[in-house]
Structure 1
Amino acid sequence: MTVKNVQPNRPTLLLVHGAWHGSWCWDPLRAALDADSWTTRVLDLPSAGDESAGIHEDTQVVLRELSAIEGPVVVVAHSYGGVPVTQAVAQAPNVVHVVYLAAYQLEVGESLLGFHGAAVAAEPRGVTPPLGDPVRALYGDVPQVFAEAAAARLVPQSVKSFSEPVTRAGWHTVPSTYVVCELDQAVPSASQEDMASRADAVHRLPSHHSPFLSMPVECATLLTKIALEATS
């Protein structure tokens, strides 16, 4: 957990990373938010690097972080991070809004693999490495030097986290916004549009999968707009 800035009457932004990543991926976005005096918090999901951890372990980490925050929280989930966030916000009374940033806004009974129609093992084990060409798939619009540096920090993701189904869907009771990344090569925009139909509002960015790295200022502007509207 790390914290930046304190601004009265604004919600805290809790940023939850996706598969293979860590809290480090939010640094450029946090710098943009910090410049506008927003309070941000980040965490590291155990499923990134630990094959024994799945969505339930990740959910507990999100819940612990939420319980340590005073006042209203807007949770921003990226990609796989939407799965444990969906579970956690159903149990966190201080969450006032959820933002799904090219993230998995799943229904009860769905898993990440199942959403895409892939086979799910009864007892998933092991890890899955980052996508074959992460620079292209995850960072297509990030400057090459920064994309390669980010790709070098990726870690294997537990198969368990991709396979376990959601048992609670907090977006049924907590307002949500979906941000579609229109040029995404990792989560197809058509899949994002399907999940976006479950949200209360939809925005779009002309970005690939990681706008927090490719367009952090634009991403910060959109997220703060959503957060202010959620608490006005």
Structure 2
Amino acid sequence: MTDESTILLVHGAWHGSWCWDLVAGLLRDRGWEVRTVDLPTVHSERKTDLALADDAAAVAAAIDAIEGPVTVVAHSYGGVPTTQGATDPKVTHIVYVAAFALDLGESLLAAVGNVAPDWWLIDGPLASAGTDAQPPQGLFYGDVDSALADACSARLLPQSLRAFTDTIDQTAWRDRPSTYIITEQDVIFPVVAQEALAARSGSVAVRLDTSHSPFLSQPDAVADVIENAARS
């Protein structure tokens, strides 16, 4: 067993572990052990059959594979399977990055008003992000270098719709400290909603003047917050 926390990075909807590359590289350069997980409702070949429970199980399995304490960092939708699945006593801190720190019986869709946003493209059991009128570059990457924003937008994948409609029955944030990064330029996740989730979960709030993807526009600042949480 090690006394130093391993950092597990959990991506948000439609994304993959690739979105953490800049932050992961910075943390590794600073001497931290970093792991990532690709959520199956985005990346599995059979994702149309999968649900929130499968993502939560993937988070739990990634934690189980780590020896010693774990700091889990979750972005956006990734906060839902993290809240559900990061209940192992090894998890010593959760960092929510503009994330859905939900409570018992809540779903992501309910948290956004029970109506899918108009920039979701729903095709049967799958949902995609962005339209011609509201492309991903503006939704997720408003303050990100344009070439990087284009490259990231091209990597987004459809996701199982059930991941957004299923409710949670465990709340990892109740049993351990948490930090919440509030993204103040966010156009898809209102700051007031982030503030409310941070307060309800008892999180230490850290404000960054960024879009929904601070791990791309301000990776050093995000790495600093994660490092502070991992040391606490």
Same fold (TM over 0.5): yes
Structure 1: 4+ residue segments shifted above 6 A: none
Correspondence 1:56 to 2:53: yes
Q: Which of 136, 139, 153 is equivalent to 1:137?
A: 139
In 2, Cα distance between the equivalents of 1:217 and 1:178? Answer: 16
In 2, Cα distance between the equivalents of 1:71 and 1:205? Answer: 30
Q: Which amino acid aligns with 1:34?
A: R
Match of 1:47, SS? Answer: helix
Moved more, 42-51 or 97-106: 42-51
Alignment of 1:36-185 (within 5 A): 36-49=30-43, 50-90=47-87, 92-119=88-115, 126-132=125-131, 133-185=135-187
Deviations 1:161-201 (A, max 9, x none): 00001111111112111111111112111111110112331
Match of 2:143, SS? Answer: coil
In 1, Cα distance between the equivalents of 2:154 and 2:164? Answer: 22
Match of 1:190, SS? Answer: helix
Per-residue deviation, 1:148: 0.2
Deviations 1:19-42 (A, max 9, x none): 000111110111111111111000
Moved more, 218-227 or 104-113: 218-227
Q: Which amino acid aligns with 2:125?
A: G
**Which residue pairs with 1:13 in the alignment?**
7
In 2, Cα distance between the equivalents of 1:103 and 1:52? Answer: 24
Per-residue deviation, 1:205: 0.9
In 1, Cα distance between the equivalents of 2:54 and 2:3? Answer: 32
In 2, Cα distance between the equivalents of 1:223 and 1:107? Answer: 23
Unpaired stretches in structure 1, ≥5 consecutive residues: 1-7
**Which residue pairs with 1:4 in the alignment?**
none
Per-residue deviation, 1:125: 5.3
Between the two proteins, what is the percent identity of the paired residues?
A: 42
In 2, Cα distance between the equivalents of 1:158 and 1:138? Answer: 19
Deviations 1:110-147 (A, max 9, x none): 10010121159xxx951111133100110111100000
**Which residue pairs with 1:206 in the alignment?**
209
Q: TM-score if structure 1 supplies the norm length?
A: 0.90
Indicate conservation of the 8 Å contact 1:130/1:157, yes or no: no
Deviations 1:86-105 (A, max 9, x none): 01122x12100111110000
In 2, Cα distance between the equivalents of 1:47 and 1:191? Answer: 25
Q: Which amino acid aligns with 2:41?
A: S
Match of 2:49, SS? Answer: coil
Per-residue deviation, 1:77: 0.4
Indicate conservation of the 8 Å contact 1:125/1:158, yes or no: no
Q: Which amino acid aligns with 1:45?
A: L
Q: TM-score if structure 2 supplies the norm length?
A: 0.90
